[in-house]
Amino acid sequence: RDDGDDDDRARATTARTTGTPSYAFASAMSRATSLEDAVRACARDVARGLGRGRDATWAQLFVCGDYDEDAVARAGKLTRELLGGTSVSLVGAVVRGGVGAEGMTESGVALTAAAMPGTTTATFRATKSALPAIDDGSACSWVDLAKSCENEGETVGVTVFADASFEHVGELLTRLHVAMPNSVALGGVVDEGSLMFLNDDVVRRGAVALLIRGEFELDTHVAHGARPVGPVMSLTHARDNAVLELDDSPAHPLLLETLEQLPENSKSLPVMLGLGVSGSKGPFVCRDILSVGETGGVEVASMALQEGDVVQLHVRDGNWAKEHANRVIEKCADSAKKVSSEELGSENSTGAMIFACGNGNRMHASNFRERVPGTPLGGAFLRSEIAPLAKGRASNVLSHTSTIGIYRKRKKSVSM
């Protein structure tokens, strides 16, 4: 349920199949007032959900609400101890809201774990855009991860959380994809100063990441909260994060003209500027418009601009966003069905993670569960989201979206 009741009992959902080796995913949530009790309840139900004798490969832990900071700092280590110790790679953060089991909470703990036999994991923390050292104890190196693209069918799933003050997250995401073209990165940006979990440790600045290498598929889907309006334009003059000219004309007057031509029911909606990541047809990374300068330039939030980019205005339209999200969740359902067919048999299980805007539609998780029953869903509501907007491309820091990643064991080819 998503109704915020006071039930402190942890709830868990799981998807398991017979056959060996198979994947298993489980998620849990607790609103217990004691953080330790909440973590213990979630870990107990997640372990039960994964099944007897099945060790967790990785876990994602999300804490929200007014818990003692010392207790929060111990939460990651406690979770690992309860799930199997140092063999479990763990990431997570203090977030605006957590998703687990059959609900979401703004005060409690959400935990998701996966048993993915045959995969290897690595973790790292970053303080700049260069690829950092892999943590001690990781099961694979950068060389192993980079070479994985040479093996047909292998994927590197990356979960990244970054502090809001970390200015290099976009460059880091690009370098990750250059190093591992077969990688898919999901995650988000947390509020400045929020603790991030990395195995037994907590991190306050920079970024933390979990990397999973193996023969699995990670389908990503993005529900946008803003619809495109007006013409696609070329960015002909920019400085830092200020758009100065579009189509060789001063940006602000041109954007005002575009807004004036919109239907009346669109003129009052919040406006964002979208930067195309894959040509003139989009998709677009959207950013809030912060201010208008004296020279007619338009300053946008946290966006690296390059002359020659394509841009288009977007408006945050709740009705459009709801319809768009419904279509995205239908695609998620189609993705989940790929592993339930007789062709794949009973060897596969699926799990899903959702990372959504903390100020966005909180019903997307509930809609996913309703449309994709039996697929455990975990995740968090954050300051910003991280996901690729086009298959095979590097991930971007997004805004006002819900991003969903679906994990499933890759179908093995059959020789004739």
How would residue 293 be classed by pLDDT, with cut points 50, 70 and 90?
A: low
Angle between helices 318-337 and 364-371 (to 10 degrees): 30
**111 pLDDT exceeds 70?**
yes
User: In whole angstroms, what is the distance from residue 396 CA to residue 128 CA?
Assistant: 16
Mean pLDDT confidence for 12-40:
79
Mean pLDDT confidence for 94-101:
96
**348 pLDDT exceeds 50?**
no
Q: In sequence order, what are the residues at sequence separation of 6 or more whose Cβ sits closer than 8 angstroms to the Cβ of residue 144?
A: 120, 213
> Which pLDDT belongs to residue 332?
92
The CA-atom distances, in angstroms, between 310 and each of 54, 226, 274, 278, 371 are 49, 17, 8, 9, 35
Mean pLDDT confidence for 9-21:
48
Mean pLDDT confidence for 243-267:
89
Percent of the chain with pLDDT over 70: 89
Provide the mean pLDDT of the chain: 88
Mean pLDDT confidence for 1-12:
45
**Of the listed ranges 65-69, 100-104, 191-195, 303-307, the one predicted with least confidence:** 303-307
The CA-atom distances, in angstroms, between 64 and each of 68, 201, 292, 364 are 11, 18, 36, 19
> Which pLDDT belongs to residue 245?
92
Mean pLDDT confidence for 320-325:
93
The amino acid at residue 262 is L
> Which pLDDT belongs to residue 16?
44
Q: Is 62 helix (H, G, I), strand (E, B) or coil?
A: strand
Instruction: Provide the sign of the torsion angle of the four alpha carbons 99, 101, 103, 106, taken in this order.
Output: negative
> Which pLDDT belongs to residue 50?
92
**57 pLDDT exceeds 60?**
yes
Q: What is the pLDDT of residues 203-241, one digit of tens each?
A: 999 999 999 999 999 999 999 999 999 899 999 999 888
Rounded to 10 degrees, the C-alpha dihedral 285/286/291/292 comes to 70
> What tokens does 62 get?
């999300």
- Helices then strands (H, E): number in the chain? 8, 26
Q: What is the pLDDT of residues 122-176, one digit of tens each?
A: 999 999 999 999 998 898 999 999 999 988 889 999 999 999 999 999 999 999 9
> What tokens does 223 get?
């529900």
**248 pLDDT exceeds 50?**
yes
**397 pLDDT exceeds 70?**
yes
* Interior angle at CA 67, CA 65 and CA 68, nearest 5: 155
Among residues 126, 10, 148, the alpha carbon closest in space to that of 79 is found at: 10
